[in-house]
Amino acid sequence: MALENYVYLKELAKKGLRLDERGYLDRREVNIKTGIINHADGSASISLGNTRVIAGVKVLPGVPYPDKPDEGSLVVNFEASDLASNYPVADKILYSVEVGRVTDRAIRESKMIDMKKLAIEPGVKSLFVYIDLYAINNDGNLLDAANLAAIAALLTTKYKVEGSETELALPIDRDKIPFSSTFVKIENKIFFDPNQLEENVSDARLTVGVSNAVNSIQKGGDGFFTLEEVDFCVEKAFLMKEKTKALVKDLLQS
């Protein structure tokens, strides 16, 4: 980024302003499409401003883990296309790992999927829920886009157990669905849903995943958040959760 652009964004932030004229808690436009991958059990495409993430879900039988013999399991993988950003390769790999882990943690810790209902034969066979996430374009906030893509894909997942023609939906508790909210700190000001320019000039980033409780918190960047700022972000994350939930209300009713 050119130095003059960097300085200009910083100066705007000091005044609580953003280059795209959004308010500090305004989200970019969101578009959700489901059923986009023919061979997946569930799939979704999310556009968050110019950031785009695709999610595919597959439910397959496997051997349960020894410490959870009567449960199914969750596996989340995230990748970014070479065209998705101009990050150096090493940074792209680290960020991809981070996005995958944060998405996994929010879903896993929320208990939105009743893993015990995915057990087929305790200690022998259970169902594994695989979520593959792929960034097509990155204009900032891949964390929230990946979270929403995963949730939309899970809500539309229909699968069959071997030996049965009955189509099943995942055992999802809709009161426990986690939605993530990402904030950046620029010049001691907090902004929600950062675009890539804002991420580039930010001092620190905080992603909070909440359902009916806080399920995950991930801090990024070299700067810091005070305890008061963390409390502020958590409070706003619960507010944003209700707005995000409204985006998938049709999927929740299906």
- Quote the distance between the C-alpha of residue 74 and its chain's center: 15
What one-letter code names the amino acid at 234?
V
Q: Which domains does the chain have, with CATH numbers?
A: 3-252 (3.30.230.70)
Residues 6 or more apart in contact with residue 79 via CB below 8 angstroms: 96, 132, 133, 134, 135
The residue type found at 101 is R
Please say whether the beta carbons of 172 and 59 come within 8 A: no
CA 4 and chain centroid, separation: 32
pLDDT confidence of residue 162 = 81
Backbone angles phi, psi at 58, to 5 degrees: -130, 135
Q: What is the pLDDT of residue 85?
A: 66
Q: pLDDT per position in the chain (254 positions), as tens?
A: 566 677 899 999 999 999 999 999 999 999 999 999 999 999 999 999 999 999 999 999 999 999 999 999 999 999 988 777 666 555 666 778 999 999 999 999 999 999 999 999 999 999 999 999 999 999 999 999 999 999 999 999 999 988 788 999 999 999 999 999 999 999 999 999 999 999 999 999 999 999 999 999 999 999 999 999 999 999 999 999 999 999 998 888 76
**pLDDT at 89 (0 to 100):** 53
Look up residue 107 and give its amino acid. Answer: I
Asked whether 202 and 220 are in contact (CB, 8 A), the reply is no
**pLDDT reported for residue 252:** 81
Indicate the helix (H) or strand (E) that contains 190.
strand 189-192
Identify whether the C-beta of residue 130 lies closer than 8 Å to the C-beta of residue 75: yes
Q: What pLDDT does 82 receive? A: 75
**In this predicted structure, what is the pLDDT of residue 1?**
58
